[in-house]
Amino acid sequence: MTSGQSSAAGDAPPRTRVLVVDDEPGLVRALRINLGVRGYDVTTATTGAGALRAAADTKPDVVVLDLGLPDLDGLEVLAGLRGWTTVPVVVLSARTDSADKVDALDAGADDYVTKPFGMDEFLARLRAAVRRGAVGASGDAEPVVETDSFTVDLTAKTVTRDGAAVHLTPTEWGMLEMLVRHRGRLVSQKEVLRQVWGPAYESETHYLRVYLGQLRRKLEADPSHPRHLLTEAGMGYRFQV
């Protein structure tokens, strides 16, 4: 395990700490360089055991985790992290099967980036994960979330569109509220079903299609081309402001 330079002394803001867990030297070097020049403080680990030690020692703001490690499966590392921390975890993996992605999300990953990937996309997802982690660390998400089409008030449990109240059923509200509270994050189908309907409904994916369709018709300017209530086929849903 190696560590990046510490943040500058004085009044400079603390650097965002990133733990990169991968056993590909070339990729680790590329990430260290790209993250370092953008002001991140980078720590690396090449094994699952090393990753868990590094996370405990450095308390990172975000973890980039490969699933194919030499000693532990990445999902085991993720489970170990989730036993004591809610730090955002971005999975970086060559596994492209949707089942692998869903398993990672169900285990607590915040996002999943498939190798090979574009550095710009990866950095954007990393920044989004860091922002979500900062919101979680400082308390609940902002009570009012605005899009260019509608406004959601999480405290009052109301939705308005063009200044008029939108009536939602309790189930529609439950699904919307969950996605809004996890905005920007990919939420798996099982996670939505478990939280909104209950554990007994984890296989009832047709419920999701029906209710998401209803929400889009009520809230999206163009329901057939949604901008905010997004589907990622075979994986889950994402609310984008």
Cα distances (Å, whole numbers) of residue 109 to 101, 189, 190, 214 = 9, 14, 13, 28
- What would the mean pLDDT of 197-219 be, rounded to a whole number? 88
Asked: is 144-239 a CATH 1.10.10.10 domain? The reply is yes
Task: Give the predicted TM-score (pTM) of the model.
Answer: 0.63
Please give the radius of gyration of the chain, using alpha carbons only, rounded to the nearest integer: 19
Q: What is the pLDDT of residue 6?
A: 42
Residue 87's closest CA among 125, 55, 113?
55
**N residues, the chain:** 241
- What would the mean pLDDT of 206-217 be, rounded to a whole number? 92
Query: Residues 62-112: pLDDT tens digits?
Result: 999 999 999 999 999 998 888 888 888 999 988 878 788 888 888 888 888
Query: Residues 155-174: pLDDT tens digits?
Result: 888 999 988 999 988 889 98
Q: What is the mean pLDDT of the chain?
A: 86
Tokens of 10: 């004085």
Q: Do domains 2-138 and 144-239 have the same CATH topology?
A: no
Q: What is the pLDDT of residue 191?
A: 87
Per-domain residue ranges for the chain?
2-138, 144-239
CB 90 within 8 A of CB 64: yes
Residues forming a β-bridge with 19: 43, 63
- Residue 37 reports pLDDT greater than 90: yes
SS3 of the chain: CEECCCCCCCCCCCCCEEEEECCCHHHHHHHHHHHHCCCCEEEEECCHHHHHHHHHHHCCCEEEECCECCCCEHHHHHHHHHCCCCCCEEEEECCCCHHHHHHHHHCCCCEEEECCCCHHHHHHHHHHHHHHHHHHHHCCCCCEEECCCCEEECCCCEEEECCEECCCCHHHHHHHHHHHHCCCCCEEHHHHHHHHCCHHHCCCHHHHHHHHHHHHHHHCCCCCCCCCEEEECCCEEEECC
Question: In the block, which residue shows the tokens 């867990």?
Answer: 21
Q: What CATH number has the domain spanning 2-138?
A: 3.40.50.2300
Q: How far is it, in rounded angstroms, from Cα 213 to Cα 197?
A: 17
State the CB neighbour count (10 A cutoff) for residue 28. 20
